[in-house]
Amino acid sequence: MQPQQRIVWICLAVILFTSVVWFEAVVLPADYMFIWRWTESQVIYESLITVGFLVAAIVGYFLLRKGAGDWEQWKIVRLGIMIWIAMLALLTLFSLYVYTLGNQHVADAYEGDGFEITAMGSVNEQEGVGEFFVVMSCDFRGFYKRVIYLDRVVGIDDVKFKWDNGELRASYQLEGRELRDTLIEVDELYAQCLRSDSERPIE
């Protein structure tokens, strides 16, 4: 095999091996998230991406084997690769376990002109209460969108949005009783969202 061909196979293998490291940094534009983040489809897409990292590493192994040829150091290199693939396999299993275990759901959503406000969280079945995040998504561009964090509430089991006297309000509830009512300044928050002028929510 020509040296140039070996270099190509080895470079492709390294790219595939390290995809878990560079994927979001390269694919995601600054201040943007994937369109499926903070939706009920997030679990499916994130699981597929995690499995994709493992598959990419396995394909990378065969490409590197092709490029390595008769390397004397191949046995040592192979050991390191096997350890890396094993770590990715553990990461994949752990991620799938977490995604399957979590019961994150969208409690309510309000869609406006160019933006969407979503209340997403989970409820502990034993305690009957949970934790919910309220976020605003805007500037939708293909697979991307901007997201800003609006609120985080614990000790409730539901969130409802209501339009009252020209104002959008979030009602935080427990067993059907309203515990708190919060005004959402739509216009101001929408302007902030377009500037990504907020800390990013926990994904």
Please give the pLDDT value at position 70: 77
What span, in angstroms and rounded, lies between the C-alpha atoms of 8 and 12? 6
- pLDDT of residue 103 exceeding 80, the answer is no
Please give the pLDDT value at position 137: 96
- pLDDT of residue 199 exceeding 70, the answer is no
Q: Taking a C-beta distance cutoff of 8 angstroms, is the pair 35, 142 a contact?
A: yes
Please give the pLDDT value at position 178: 92
pLDDT mean over 53-62: 94
pLDDT mean over 97-121: 88
For the whole model, what pTM was predicted?
Answer: 0.80
Average pLDDT, whole number, for the chain?
89
Closest Cα to residue 153, out of 127, 181, 176, 175? 181
pLDDT tier, 202 (very low <50, low <70, confident <90, very high otherwise)? low
**Per-residue pLDDT tens over the stretch 147-180:** 999 999 999 999 999 988 889 999 999 998 999 9
Please give the pLDDT value at position 136: 95
- pLDDT of residue 130 exceeding 80, the answer is yes
**Per-residue pLDDT tens over the stretch 38-57:** 998 888 898 899 999 999 99
- pLDDT of residue 85 exceeding 80, the answer is yes
Please give the pLDDT value at position 4: 79
Show the DSSP H helices in 37-135 as ranges.
42-68, 74-101
pLDDT mean over 4-29: 90
Please give the pLDDT value at position 200: 57
What span, in angstroms and rounded, lies between the C-alpha atoms of 94 and 145? 27
What span, in angstroms and rounded, lies between the C-alpha atoms of 107 and 161? 9
